[in-house]
């Protein structure tokens, strides 16, 4: 698997990263099916690792998904986490802040949703919206943006030191691919509920968003919580890359099945 991790303090130019990349898998049906088979094996492995994570109850995993509209955040969750026990996994979507949330610092509502020990937490959009949408629409100054970058890094450092492993994924799609996916929503009655006039207005700001993402990713990719820029034009490859990283992160925790309760002789135990 290619390494899509963004090194700390590095400059990022998304135009140099191919959203149609499929690594060592060719773009034919044969390559697609091969990648899907590997993904299924990874999902099976993820199921076992998540059970150990839940049973141990001393670590947690936070997955952050960001990307342009239609980049595949929902699809990633649906496919990659399909084998995970819902009891040990929670998905959070951060919408427009409520009046109560606006009365606190921008990370207040996020900290409350961080995964508890034994859990996998998934942020479908996240605290990074507060340095993306707000910046693109001129709601905060560049000075505040830089302050928030530092505050985010300190916040994620706190989570890491508390036993939470953080994986951050930017789902990288092309503007042409977004056009195709928006058209699919318009043409398919089963998908029209996902469409909004705001999608077209935000699309007009594509260049502004790309610039904001580049700055944000470069400024907040750290050794403890790195960003990964995942090629996302091909959904099957996107799923493979993320599944591979999630499994690798859980394996890195070196989780073991907890010991059985002391004092019980399971070899002689009989259930009447």
Tell me how far CA of residue 95 lies from CA of 110, 124, 127, 208, in angstroms: 11, 10, 10, 21
Q: What is the mean pLDDT of residues 233-245?
A: 98
- Structural domain spans, the chain: 14-252
Confidence band, pLDDT 50/70/90 cuts, at residue 1: low
Residue given tokens 């949330």 in the structure block: 101
Tell me how far CA of residue 94 lies from CA of 18, 129, 185, in angstroms: 28, 8, 22
Alpha-carbon dihedral 41, 44, 45, 48, rounded to 10 degrees: -170
pTM metric for this prediction: 0.94
> Distance between CA atoms of 106 and 108, rounded to whole angstroms?
6
Q: Work out the mean pLDDT of the chain and round it to a whole number.
A: 94
Name residues whose C-beta falls within 8 Å of residue 97's C-beta, 6 or more positions apart in sequence: 106, 109
14-252 falls under which CATH superfamily? P-loop containing nucleotide triphosphate hydrolases (3.40.50.300)
Confidence band, pLDDT 50/70/90 cuts, at residue 3: confident
Q: Which has more confidence, 15 or 272?
A: 15
> Distance between CA atoms of 222 and 8, rounded to whole angstroms?
5
CB 212 within 8 A of CB 138: no
* Residue-by-residue DSSP string for 75-133: HHHHHHTTTS-GGGEEEEE--SPPHHHHTS-TTHHHHHTSPPTT-EEEEES-GGGGGTH
> Distance between CA atoms of 171 and 187, rounded to whole angstroms?
24
pLDDT value for 196:
87
């Amino acid at each position: 698997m290619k390494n899509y991790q963004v090194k700390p303090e590095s400059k990022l130019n998304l135009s140099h990263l191919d959203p149609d990349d499929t690594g060592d898998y060719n773009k034919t049906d044969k390559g697609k099916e091969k990648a899907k088979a590997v993904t299924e094996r990874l999902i099976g492995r993820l199921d076992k690792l998540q059970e150990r994570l839940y049973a141990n109850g001393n670590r947690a995993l936070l997955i952050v998904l960001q990307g342009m509209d239609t980049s595949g955040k929902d699809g990633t969750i649906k496919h990659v986490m399909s084998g995970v026990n819902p009891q040990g996994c929670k998905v959070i979507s951060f919408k427009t802040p409520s009046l109560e949330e606006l009365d606190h610092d921008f990370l207040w509502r996020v900290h409350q949703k961080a995964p508890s020990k034994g859990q996998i937490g998934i942020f479908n959009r996240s605290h990074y919206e507060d340095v993306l949408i707000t910046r693109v629409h001129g709601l905060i100054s560049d000075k505040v943006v830089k302050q928030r970058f530092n505050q985010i890094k300190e916040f994620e450092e706190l989570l890491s030191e508390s036993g939470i492993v953080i994986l951050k994924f930017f789902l990288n799609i092309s503007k042409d691919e977004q056009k195709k996916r928006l058209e699919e929503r318009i043409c398919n009655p089963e998908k029209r509920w996902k469409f909004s006039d705001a999608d077209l207005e935000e699309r007009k700001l594509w260049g502004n968003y790309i610039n904001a993402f580049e700055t944000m990713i470069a400024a907040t990719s750290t050794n403890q919580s790195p960003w990964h820029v995942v090629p996302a034009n091909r959904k099957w490859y996107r799923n493979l890359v993320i599944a591979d990283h999630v499994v690798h992160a859980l394996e890195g925790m070196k989780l073991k099945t907890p010991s059985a309760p002391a004092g019980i002789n399971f070899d002689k135990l009989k259930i009447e």
